[in-house]
Amino acid sequence: MNCPGAGVTIRRMNAVVYTDRDQRRVSRVVRDLIRSRELFVDLVWKELRIRYRYAVMGFLWAILEPVAMMVILTFVFTMVFADKAAAFRGGDTRPFAVVLLCGLVPWQFFATGLSKGVQSLVDNQNLIKKVHFAREIVPLASVSTCLVNFTIGFMLLVLVHVVLGGSIGVGLVWFPVVFAIEFVMVIGLVLLLSCLNVRYRDVGYIVGVAIVFGFYATPIFYTLDLVRHLGEAHPVLVRLYMLNPMALLIGAFRQVLFENRFPDVSLLIWPGVAAAACLAIGVVSFRRSGPLLSDYL
Amino acid sequence: MSIIEVDRVTKRFRPRRSMRAMFGRGGLTEILRGGEGAHQTALDDVTFTVEPGDSLGIIGRNGSGKSTLLKVLAGVTLPSSGHVTVHGRVASLLELGAGFHPMLTGRENVYLNAGLLGVRHAQVEELFDRIVEFSGIGDFIEQPVDTYSSGMYVRIGFAVAAHCNPDIFLVDEVLSVGDEEFQGKCRQKIRELREQGKTIVFVSHDLSTVSALCDRVVLLEKGRMISRGSPKKTIDFYLRRIGRENGIHTMQEGRLESVFSHGRLSMYRDTDEVSGFSGFQAQVNCLGRWHNASEAQWEILERAENRCVARGTMMRLPLQYIWDMRLENGHLVWRVSLECERETAVEATEINLFLPEGYDRWHYGALAGRFPEILSSDITWMTVAPPSLECREVAALPRAGAALPPILATMATDNPQATLVWQNTDHVAGCRVLQVYAKAPEGQKTIAAGRHDLATLDVDFESGLDHIEARLKEAERRRTLRRGGLEARFHEGHIEIRHDGRLLTAAIHGYTSMLIGNLWADSPNLRWGAVEQTASSLRVSGESRRFPFRQDWEIAIEEGRVRLDIWLEALEALEVQEYHTSVLVVSDYIEWETEHERGEFPEFTAGVEDWVHANRNYAPGAWIVARGASVPALTLRSALDDVPFRMTAINAGHHQQARVLQALRTSEGSPLRFEPGRYHYFSGAVEVADA
């Protein structure tokens, strides 16, 4: 249909049916997402523009942030607690800064992706109240935006690794594979928690606290081996610890980086299962409550 | 195929839970039991369809579910049950700021907003300039929108939505945030979209916009659709329904119902609207500008089943309208007063009763006629009956078949300037208007502080045609004398004379006139009082508006003649150049004769409107007679022996088609001087000889 007034050709008319059941059907997720792909790109762009707007240094913060964390933590654990840290690390000869950064970069993605993703629906309520579209793309876009920071962090990691005498090889291709598991897990969690957060804003605070807790319950400034060594003294605690998929994933990341090989399968099975479960639960629960989100915003 | 189908849609909201609700009494156990708490029903079983190209208005009070309905149509939320089918692309303007991110600039938001509405970047680029131009935002487009005012949000939002070429355009109340100019622009754009065949769903509290822009209107109340149909019908229904709100009151008595709403009164009889387009309203002219009562801030002082007293405080004027409205026995009694805080410049006041075009005959005092048809070339109002200060009673009769009652209106007023006027409006309004017009007298353009009653109108909707005609006949009868075949009727300074039912007089009939200071003071221009009738005579007096004199007329009927006795009462010393008493007769009179000479009236000449004398001999006389073949001889005879009258035969203008018999008193050189007192002005008769 061509309209002389606007000069824009519109697409073929397609009927949308709004009923309680129809819009909540899980089977429609993929189709809805494909339809909303252009909007998804818009949203990612929007997030990127907003993230460092009004910051004088702009995108430099994507580098400065992990560097600053690395410097601080390296300083604390190699200077302040110098003698304790030596005992802590046992015979590990790998440079602490690289070990730290290798845990920090994936963790930062997990933490920022989760916290921003959980808030994304509330932050973008203006868009949700405007028209009908697949609401999933809002948290998806929010998490995807964090990929940019992760990529920058990853390049920084490789750089520091090389500078401090490490070697890189073909084995590094396994890094994105491990990361894919983490990504799927974050998406699943965000889908589940973001719509829950719309109804119960407590969720956002709980996630904030959980992230702080997770920072210590994940081998970031220490190694997974250290925890394993504690296994004989506190078997139950360690078993609980190992339920944290991020702990295993960071172990896997370190194996990929330092040993240039596919990580131990034992480190991937549980996170893989957990990620798949999160995604399934996330998608289903989001489908159930997604169309009614605007009622709570 | 309908473009929007809404099928038994119900929408319930669960109450949001706070800490208190969760842990308060029973809250937690209820949640554990899976209870849902009390639902709020925003939409309750709503069903309708919208055809492509339709524009649908949704009206209703706050909280009636209008916005929820729009959200359901936009797919922003889902119905709890029932279903909505929407064919085509929807653009919406729902909440203020919806579709915007405050940290992005106006430009970025245009792209984002258009993206939400399904328009791609490449297309937005084409439209971008037009969008910005329409919004009138100018250079602000590069600023983050969190610096925007709410008006600017709406400007951008509307501009984007309107230019994205949607199939369906949903507009919520937000438009009212914009300024007057922009709202006008939006209405224009919506009209354009309508013409392009777009479907529009429009929510507004501005009922006039709704009625102007929508083909159909849906009325929601508490989530239920209680009425739908043409804008006029639904809005009427709505206005009557919302009676209890401030500034609005519905009165009812018998078959009559009347809705007062913010300075406008609508009348209904058996649910048919009797008032026209703009209802009954009032306005006041201060310093050259008309201020309508509907611009005032109204509050209801007194409400009753059949009565309402309301006060409207005019903006920026030290004036208040007080309207006292009452329905009783099929009458509307409406008193309009002005209350001034201090002395106020008021040049004129108007009370306008707009009536539908279905009224086609008017009565005005003893006059009656048909309203001229309102043509598309009528761009101004037109007075249909000559206004008279004496007229206190008017009526309007409906065209055969119109569902309208005959209306009889009487006015009571202390204001000597108040005049009833019948008007036709311009073509667009297309109404008959009964107007009470009062202009401030010359040299007195202010009214004092305090309360002034403008007029009390008693409008009778029940009496029916016969009663009205009987009353008007009665009024006419009171001014008419009859004897044998002869009949004389006084009307506002004229005397009409009939013989065997045939009107012998023409144009301005019998009348008097005095030349004072080179101005003719004609008797029809005097302000005439009530007619006093005895068995065979009428007495009436009229006062000049311009000069200090009165005339008392006594008209008596005798066998074969109408006697006339006219006194002049000079209230101050009066200098009169000349004066006369004249009878204009129909053009069938061909010959004239006086004591001194005789002759024939000449033919009328087209284009000659001056009166042409036929006499040669101007010696004073006592009589003049006119004769014609088909008419009885008519004589004007003076009985005042001490006053010399020049009996004159005159041909009136071509337009008037009348012959004039005149008894003229001239002043030879110096004017005639009347000291204050009473003088015999004329005494004599009009004699009609039986043929």
Q: Is the pLDDT of residue B36 over 70?
A: no
For residue B20, what pLDDT is reported?
A: 56
B66 pLDDT band (50/70/90 cuts)? confident
Lowest mean pLDDT among A37-51, A73-87, B536-550: A73-87
For residue B508, what pLDDT is reported?
A: 86
> Is B250 within 8 Å of B259 (Cβ atoms)?
yes
Is A23 near chain B, with CB under 8 Å? yes
Chain A residue with minimal CA distance to B160? A6
Is B427 near chain A, with CB under 8 Å? no
For residue B37, what pLDDT is reported?
A: 55
Give how far A107 is from chain B: nearest CA, Å: 28
> Is B599 within 8 Å of B649 (Cβ atoms)?
yes
For residue B484, what pLDDT is reported?
A: 86
Question: Which residues, 6+ apart, have CB-to-CB distance to B111 below 8 Å?
Answer: A42, B121, B124
Q: Is the pLDDT of residue B429 over 70?
A: yes
For B66, B337, B417, the CA distances from B322, given in Å and listed in that order, are 34, 5, 19
Higher pLDDT, B3 or B242: B3
Q: Is the pLDDT of residue B139 over 90?
A: no
Whether the CA torsion B49, B55, B60, B65 is positive or negative: it is: positive
> Is A270 within 8 Å of A248 (Cβ atoms)?
yes
Q: Is the pLDDT of residue B420 over 50?
A: yes
Is A229 near chain B, with CB under 8 Å? no
Task: Give the percent of chain B with pLDDT over 90.
Answer: 24
For residue B589, what pLDDT is reported?
A: 93
Is B127 near chain A, with CB under 8 Å? yes
Q: Is the pLDDT of residue B121 over 50?
A: yes
Cβ–Cβ below 8 Å for A15 and B87: yes
Lowest mean pLDDT among A223-227, B546-550, B685-689: A223-227
Cβ–Cβ below 8 Å for A8 and B119: yes
Which chain B residues are Cβ-neighbours of A19 within 8 angstroms?
Answer: 78-79, 82-84
Report chain A's mean pLDDT, rounded to a whole number: 84
Q: Which of residues 36-75 of B touch A (CB under 8 A)?
A: 71-72, 74-75
Question: Which residues, 6+ apart, have CB-to-CB distance to B319 below 8 Å?
Answer: B284, B286, B291, B313, B338, B339, B340, B341, B344, B346
Which chain B residues are Cβ-neighbours of A291 within 8 angstroms?
Answer: 77-78
Q: Is the pLDDT of residue A11 over 80?
A: no
> Which of B260, B271, B337 lies closest to B304, judged by CA?
B260
For residue B189, what pLDDT is reported?
A: 85
Report chain B's mean pLDDT, rounded to a whole number: 85
Cβ–Cβ below 8 Å for B116 and A130: yes
Give how far B454 is from chain A: nearest CA, Å: 53
Reported as a single tens digit per residue, the pLDDT across B225-238 is 888 888 888 887 78
> Is B403 within 8 Å of B446 (Cβ atoms)?
no
A7 pLDDT band (50/70/90 cuts)? very low
The label of the residue with tokens 């703009």 reads B278
Is B107 near chain A, with CB under 8 Å? no
Cβ–Cβ below 8 Å for A129 and B196: no
A6 pLDDT band (50/70/90 cuts)? very low
Per DSSP (E only), the strands in A96-222 are: none
Lowest mean pLDDT among A77-86, B131-140, B161-170, B515-524: A77-86
For residue B660, what pLDDT is reported?
A: 94
For A161, A176, B187, B276, the CA distances from A167, given in Å and listed in that order, are 7, 18, 69, 92
> Is B102 within 8 Å of B129 (Cβ atoms)?
no
Lowest mean pLDDT among A104-118, B344-358, B364-378, B435-449: B364-378
B167 pLDDT band (50/70/90 cuts)? confident
Query: Of A5-9, A58-62, B492-496, B569-573, where does the model show the most confidence?
Result: B569-573
- Domain range annotation of chain A: 20-296
B16 pLDDT band (50/70/90 cuts)? low
> Is A100 within 8 Å of B72 (Cβ atoms)?
no
Can you tell me the mean pLDDT for B658-673? 89
d(CA A112, CA A152): 14
Encoded amino acid at B286, one letter: C
Cβ–Cβ below 8 Å for A126 and B101: yes
Chain A residue with minimal CA distance to B12? A295
B81 closest CB neighbour out of A20, A53, A295: A20
- H or E element in which residue B283 lies: strand B280-286
d(CA B343, CA B322): 17
Give how far A277 is from chain B: nearest CA, Å: 25
Q: HEC string of A82-97?
A: HHHHHHHHCCCCCCHH
Chain B residue with minimal CA distance to A51? B103
Cβ–Cβ below 8 Å for B76 and A5: no
For residue B627, what pLDDT is reported?
A: 93
Give how far B47 is from chain A: nearest CA, Å: 14
B16 closest CB neighbour out of A8, A54, A296: A296
Is B165 near chain A, with CB under 8 Å? yes
Q: Which of residues 139-168 of A touch B (CB under 8 A)?
A: none
For residue A209, what pLDDT is reported?
A: 95
Q: Is the pLDDT of residue B617 over 90?
A: no
Chain A residue with minimal CA distance to B74? A131
Q: Are strands B537-543 and B532-533 parallel, antiparallel or unpaired?
A: antiparallel
B515 pLDDT band (50/70/90 cuts)? very high
For residue A5, what pLDDT is reported?
A: 34
Which chain B residues are Cβ-neighbours of A295 within 8 angstroms?
Answer: 13-14, 77
Is A122 near chain B, with CB under 8 Å? no
B529 pLDDT band (50/70/90 cuts)? confident
B333 pLDDT band (50/70/90 cuts)? very high
> Which of B418, B279, B304 lies closest to B350, judged by CA?
B418
Give how far B101 is from chain A: nearest CA, Å: 7
Reported as a single tens digit per residue, the pLDDT across B627-646 is 998 899 999 999 988 888 99
Which chain A residues are Cβ-neighbours of B99 within 8 angstroms?
Answer: 126-127, 129-131
For residue A184, what pLDDT is reported?
A: 96
For residue B605, what pLDDT is reported?
A: 85
Cβ–Cβ below 8 Å for A15 and B85: yes
Kindly state the DSSP code that residue B34 receives in the 8-state scheme: T
Count A/B contacts: CB-CB distance under 8 Å: 133
For residue B634, what pLDDT is reported?
A: 94
Higher pLDDT, A17 or B616: B616
> Is A297 within 8 Å of A194 (Cβ atoms)?
no
B90 pLDDT band (50/70/90 cuts)? confident
Can you tell me the mean pLDDT for B198-208? 83
Task: Give the percent of chain A with pLDDT over 90.
Answer: 34
Can you tell me the mean pLDDT for A140-168? 89
Task: Give the percent of chain A with pLDDT over 70.
Answer: 90
Q: Is the pLDDT of residue A8 over 60?
A: no
Which chain A residues are Cβ-neighbours of B77 within 8 angstroms?
Answer: 291-292, 294-295
A126 closest CB neighbour out of B17, B97, B108: B97
Encoded amino acid at B139, one letter: D
Q: Which long-range contacts (CB under 8 A, 24 or more apart) does A156-161 make?
A: A156/A63, A156/A66, A156/A67, A156/A101, A156/A105, A157/A98, A157/A101, A157/A102, A157/A105, A157/A257, A160/A70, A160/A97, A160/A98, A160/A101, A161/A98, A161/A101, A161/A102, A161/A257
Which chain B residues are Cβ-neighbours of A124 within 8 angstroms?
Answer: 101
Q: Which of residues 44-73 of A touch B (CB under 8 A)?
A: 46, 49-50, 53-54
Tokens of B671: 């004017």
Is B101 near chain A, with CB under 8 Å? yes
For residue B583, what pLDDT is reported?
A: 95
d(CA A102, CA A218): 12
- H or E element in which residue A149 lies: helix A137-163
Cβ–Cβ below 8 Å for A129 and B94: yes
Q: Is the pLDDT of residue A297 over 80?
A: no
* DSSP assignments along B464-501, one per residue: HHHHHHHHHHHHHHTTEEEETTEEEEEETTEEEEEETT
Q: Is the pLDDT of residue A20 over 70?
A: no
Which region holds residue B245: left if phi is over 0, alpha if psi is between -120 and 50, else beta?
Answer: beta
Q: Is the pLDDT of residue A18 over 80?
A: no
CB-neighbour burial class of residue B262 (10 A; exposed 0-12, middle 13-18, buried 19+): middle
Q: Is the pLDDT of residue B21 over 70?
A: no
Lowest mean pLDDT among B188-192, B378-382, B514-518: B378-382
Rounded to the nearest 10 degrees, how much is the dihedral formed by the CA atoms of B524, B526, B530, B532? -70
Q: Is the pLDDT of residue A160 over 70?
A: yes
B78 closest CB neighbour out of A18, A126, A131: A18
Cβ–Cβ below 8 Å for A19 and B79: yes
B626 pLDDT band (50/70/90 cuts)? very high
B79 closest CB neighbour out of A7, A20, A127: A20
Q: Is the pLDDT of residue A3 over 60?
A: no
Tokens of B338: 């002005």
- From the candidates A126, A128, A200, A288, which should be mutated to test the interface with B, based on the most B CB atoms within 10 A? A126
Which chain B residues are Cβ-neighbours of A18 within 8 angstroms?
Answer: 72, 75, 78-79, 83-86
For residue A247, what pLDDT is reported?
A: 92
End-to-end CA distance of chain B: 80
- H or E element in which residue B503 lies: strand B502-503
